[in-house]
Amino acid sequence: MPESISLPDGRRLDLFVDGPADGTPLLFHHGTPASGLPDRALVAALAERNLRYVGWSRPGYGDSTRRAGRVVADVVDDAVAVLDHIGADRAYTFGWSGGGPHAMATAAALPDRILAATTVGGVAPYPAEGIDWFEGMGPENIEEFGASLEGPEAMIVFKERAWPVWRAVTADEVADALGGLIDDVDRGSLTGEFAESLAASTREGLRTNYWGWFDDDMAFNRDWGFDIGSIGVPVHIWQGGHDRMVPYAHGTWLAGHTGSACPHLHPDHGHLTLVVDSVGPILDEMLAVDR
């Protein structure tokens, strides 16, 4: 169960902490939609490296108070509050999928507290000059992001239809629910504990409403509130060529435009297989940066 913490502006945040109490914190920014509910395999990989999992459900997910109209950079307020709450001066930050921009925002705003950042399958800003933002994206995400560009009313129609499916999804259903967002590479990873973890995290995030999901989508397609080119903290950018949720071009674009980028572009991987098969090497690359 999460710990509910109070924030300076009166909101509350669902906080999840796991792993060695004396470990260096890793601030985990979950995907869209999902929650801060920790994945056991990730927690174990972190503990092997004396890292402590620190994740939270973004505003509007779980019981975290909604922050309507938020931009990506607003996550920094919550990151500072979490670091202060656990008494940590320094930390790493890690964002998967929709968490990628939030990890980058944290690194951009807190260079004195963030040691290094990692994004895996992180979305690029819209529009991203020089790429077709939607090329290679599965039809479900084309519809979803298209609705966010159309406006709040279209986004609500999409969420009203999709929320009942995802708020109750099971491990056995998650692959079919993803539909065209995965190919055979990613589909093969949706078994056992990983499928259970992904489904549980999604259910936790959406159990009360869909506003966190709504606000994430709307935030991705407006100004993020910070300059990715000015980031001075090392940012490891991991992207798979079989990714149909966030196409490969997003990763290559981020690698070419992010300050202090350390690209890891893998044509043979997907959106899911990177975290299932390579979480150890991903963490080791982040930790290898000499600060």
Buried b (16+ CB within 10 A) or exposed e, 238-266: bbbbbbbbbbbbbbbbbbebbbbbbebeb
Cα torsion 246, 190, 287, 113: sign? positive
Percent of the chain residues past pLDDT 70, beyond the cut: 99
pLDDT band at 1 (very low <50, low <70, confident <90, very high): confident
Measuring CA to CA, which residue among 34, 33, 51 is closest to residue 42?
51
Rounded CA separation 52/35 (Å): 17
Rounded CA separation 84/80 (Å): 6
Mean pLDDT of 202-213: 98
| Whether the predicted pLDDT of 291 surpasses 90 | no
Residues 261, 255: contact at Cβ < 8 Å?
A: yes
Residues 88, 120: contact at Cβ < 8 Å?
A: no
Using one digit for the tens of pLDDT, what is the confidence trace for 34-81? 999 999 999 999 999 999 999 999 999 999 999 999 999 999 999 999
Q: Is the pTM of this model over 0.95?
A: yes
Using one digit for the tens of pLDDT, what is the confidence trace for 93-115? 999 999 999 999 999 999 999 99
Count up the domains in the chain and report the number.
1
Mean pLDDT of 256-271: 97
Position with higher pLDDT, 289 vs 261: 261
Domain enclosing residue 15, as ranges? 3-288
Q: Which two tokens stand for residue 140?
A: 């479900």
Rounded CA separation 11/29 (Å): 18
Indicate the average pLDDT of the chain: 97
pLDDT at 289: 67
Rounded CA separation 247/240 (Å): 8
Mean pLDDT of 15-33: 98
pLDDT at 94: 98
| Whether the predicted pLDDT of 290 surpasses 70 | no
Strand, coil or helix: what is 46? Answer: helix
Cα torsion 14, 276, 107, 67: sign? negative
CB count within 10 Å of CB 52 equals 22
CATH of residue 89's domain is 3.40.50.1820
Residues 207, 232: contact at Cβ < 8 Å?
A: no
Distance of CA 268 to the CA centre of its chain: 21
